Amino acid sequence: MEDRRRAKLPTDTLASARSLRVNATDAERVIWRRLRGGQLPGFKFRRQYPIPPYVVDFACLAAKLVVELDGSQHSTDADLPRTRFIESKGFKVLRFWDNDALLQTDAVMEAIWNACRSAAPHPNPSPDGRGA
């Protein structure tokens, strides 16, 4: 019989994820309100999701998509190793500035929705297997 238990996360990664959920930024709260509860049909998101040794802001496992919201402490160069590591685990990473999440929420959500749809397999593949 297959063991379906999850592998245990490193204690510090798990504690960090829990702390980040409690201490969400304003931008994270705004985007989470729009992602939670299946508001993007067919796509379930998790917040402060551990991909050890990192904890990502949001992850959709079905679409293999990670959404990161970056504040002023972030820079492209500093975040590059993190992004590459997450991509090496098979995820596509979308990054948005906190200000964009707060002031252009609809545009951010549209980009997330488009990324989810493009990552998901077509629901009705052709009968002969083309395009699968």
For the chain, how big is the Rg over CA atoms in Å? 16
- The predicted model gives 34-39 an average pLDDT of 92
Only one residue has tokens 């609809």, namely 106
Q: 119 CB contacts (<8 Å, ≥6 apart)?
A: 63, 64, 65, 92
Greater confidence (77 vs 106) lies with 106
Cα–Cα distance for residue pair 8/26, rounded to 1 Å: 30
Q: Which tops the pLDDT comparison, 6 or 105?
A: 105
Look at 130 and 118; give whichever has higher pLDDT.
118
Question: What's the pLDDT band for 77 if we cut at 50, 70, 90?
Answer: confident
Letter string b/e over residues 75-98, b meaning 16 or more CB atoms within 10 A of that residue's CB: eeeeeeebbeebeeeebbbbebbb
Confidence at residue 89, expressed as pLDDT on a 0 to 100 scale: 97
The dotted CATH code for 11-117 is: 3.40.960.10
pLDDT of residue 120: 62
Full-model pTM: 0.76
Q: Is the pLDDT of residue 4 over 50?
A: no
Q: Please, how many CA atoms are within 13 Å of residue 24, restricted to the half-sphere of its CB?
A: 18
Which distant-in-sequence residues (6+ apart) come within 8 Å of 72 by Cβ?
98
More confident call, 54 vs 1: 54
- Contact (Cβ atoms closer than 8 angstroms) between residue 79 and residue 71: no
pLDDT band at 110 (very low <50, low <70, confident <90, very high): very high
